[in-house]
Chain A
Amino acid sequence: MLPGVVTLAFDTSGPACCAAILSGETIIADTVEQMARGQAERLFPLLDELLSAAGLAWGDVGRIGVGTGPGNFTGIRISVAAARGLALSLGCPAIGVSTLDALAHGLPQPCLTVVPARRGSIYLQRHRQGEVHAPETLTLDELAAAALPPVPVCGDVANDVAARIGGTVVRPAAPHAVSIARIACARAADTADRPRPLYLRAADAAPASDRPPAILP
């Protein structure tokens, strides 16, 4: 019997399936498989393999941590729906963690975390001790006008962002799924909300264009 609650964390918001298992505070498994597609088919077999290799069964899991994006909408939903299903069947909490928070985990603050968005935009979040900042969506050109301090930048498009704000590029402090698991542990006591995708962009939808005719009295 391992000490502490077993936390299972996973994320499919990017072109990969990643997962980690913590026992209490101890990392007992951590894996990333790169894939452009097929996350929906691969996720559960991957989690099964990870649990078995650690000598664990599904019933041993006491907490779920799940990546909520921002990222690929379909990918985010794959993990969030899976986490909600698991929370229901295991009777345990599932805690959503954004990619921007996971990237910042364990880094010295202040720092910026960034995730590439579509159409030349980026998702960005400022992290500073004692302050709470919401995620933002900006184009690279808007960065200059955003008056961002020249702080360390972490994330896939960190190079582009750091060059524009005069900051430095830093690597994440831990593998992605491990950070998600650790944040899930830290938030477990005060989060009752079910995980929700962090889209940061409204659904592409235009109101009906064909105007109905006037109805005469």
Chain B
Amino acid sequence: MAQTLTLLGLESSCDDTGAAVVRQAPDAQAEILSNVVIGQDALHASYGGVVPEIAARAHAEKIDIAVEQALAEAGLTLRDIDAVAVTAGPGLIGGVLSGVMCAKGIAAGAGLPLVGVNHLAGHALTPRLTDGLAFPYLMLLVSGGHCQFLRVGGIDNYTRLGGTIDDAPGEAFDKVARLLGLPQPGGPAVEAAARSGDPARFAFPRPMLDRPGCDLSFSGLKTAVLRARDTLAATQGGLFETDRADLCAGFQAAVADVLAEKTRRALAAAGPDLTALAVAGGVAANGILRERLTGVAAAAGVAFNAPPLYLCTDNAAMIAFAGLEAFRAGRRDGMDLPARPRWPLDTASPALVGSGRKGPKA
């Protein structure tokens, strides 16, 4: 017999400390009762990227505070919670461990069941949290740490159709911002600078478009921007604002071209029964990319689903919801639940990044 479930979720796999409460009545859309995110941008700003040890230190001293806030904002106590869901990987292990141990402490003391959630499943199931999207759909997960096409056929049924063989696009945006003296996080900074730029001035490569399939690469594109910058700096002694805008626009156009074409292919490969093309991850906030993907979905005759920005980036509401779906399906984890730096959603497809003893990354 289905029942109304209320889950507490914890997220700490990168540089956002999150806690959230999500409730779902039987056969109804889930409701986010609270969704607290404590960011760490200022801590990492001077390092030009997320420093794992700094992130781990912050999570360990913030995650319980985030949980208290989430419960208070939901107007609930732990007595109203049915289970505790926590990101158990993949991600920066120091942060994941802090979340997992805090969740175990909460579950043990309150006598609640524990559900370990794959961070990627949290992103992949977000369209069901926001819109109750039916399976199967195609998910483009595109963030600072990940880039993959997943055919989502069920809460435990993921087929990876392709992904990046090196960097994630979000990483490339951050790197380009650093190369051009723009602030972090790089995504919004590059997008803003690109607005006044000419995307056609620099002929940046469209990596791997000449190869079949849905795999992607962004590392070479990053290097192309570096070369163009160095050439300009050498001849002019620096960059003019227009140079910077043109470099940003050219880079962004290349990323959007590659993602749009690979998405078109992934839609064709995912089968005719898709309910939608969905996106998630911080890079899904990019306006140009959203525009292109909307066009790709329309051309393929499928709906386009993009969660609001605060549910695209890392958050605990998606973890609470993914935990809720798993809990409803009977999933329970023991108090020996491990934290996993690497944890691919699709264990059948060959690894794209990471191999050897430790296995594929994601």
Contacts and interface: CB of A to CB of B under 8 A. Distances in A.
A132 B180 CA distance: 50
Contacts of A107: none
Of A82, A84, A206, A210, which is in contact with the most chain B CB atoms at under 10 Å from its CB? A84
B60 interface: yes
A203 B57 contact: yes
A77 B101 contact: yes
Given A88-B78, A89-B106, A205-B51, 9 more contacts: A40-B339, A82-B101, A82-B105, A88-B106, A89-B105, A90-B109, A194-B64, A213-B180, A214-B233
B53 interface: yes
A214 B239 CA distance: 6
A45 B103 CA distance: 14
Interface stretch (B41-49, B132-140, B352-360): B41-49
A89 B239 contact: no
Contacts of A85: 64, 67, 101-109
Contacts of A114: none
B42 to A, nearest CB: 14
B308 interface: no
Of B46, B107, B109, B238, which is in contact with the most chain A CB atoms at under 10 Å from its CB? B109
Interface in B141-169: none
Interface of A: 40-45, 47-48, 58-59, 61, 73-74, 77-90, 194, 196-197, 199, 203-208, 210, 212-216
Contact of A86 (B46, B108, B233): B108
Nearest to A197: B60
Interface residues of B, number: 54
B241 interface: yes
B64 A88 contact: yes
11 contacts: A44-B104, A47-B108, A74-B56, A78-B97, A82-B101, A82-B104, A84-B102, A86-B109, A205-B47, A208-B47, A213-B238
B61 interface: yes
B334 to A, nearest CB: 8
Contact of A73 (B56, B64, B337): B56
Contact of A81 (B105, B109, B335): B105
A193 to B, nearest CB: 11
Interface of B: 46-49, 51, 53-54, 56-57, 59-61, 63-64, 67-68, 78, 93-94, 97-111, 178-181, 229, 232-233, 236-241, 244, 334-339
Contact of A207 (B47, B109, B110, B337): B47
Contacts of A212: 178-181
B34 to A, nearest CB: 15
B178 A208 contact: yes
B291 to A, nearest CB: 29
Given A203-B57, A205-B54, A215 B244 contact: yes
A78 B178 CA distance: 34
A57 B48 CA distance: 47
Given A77-B97, A77-B101, A210 B61 contact: no
A118 B93 CA distance: 20
B94 A40 contact: no
A199 B64 CA distance: 19
Contacts of B106: 85-86, 88-89
The 9 closest A-B pairs by CB, nearest first: A85-B105, A89-B109, A212-B181, A208-B48, A214-B238, A44-B335, A81-B101, A203-B53, A84-B64
A44 to B, nearest CB: 4
A39 to B, nearest CB: 9
A76 to B, nearest CB: 8
B338 A40 contact: yes
B63 A210 contact: no
Contacts of B78: 88-89
A194 B101 contact: no
A41 B335 CA distance: 7
Contact of A205 (B53, B104, B238, B239): B53
Given A44-B335, A85-B102, A88-B64, A207 B108 contact: no
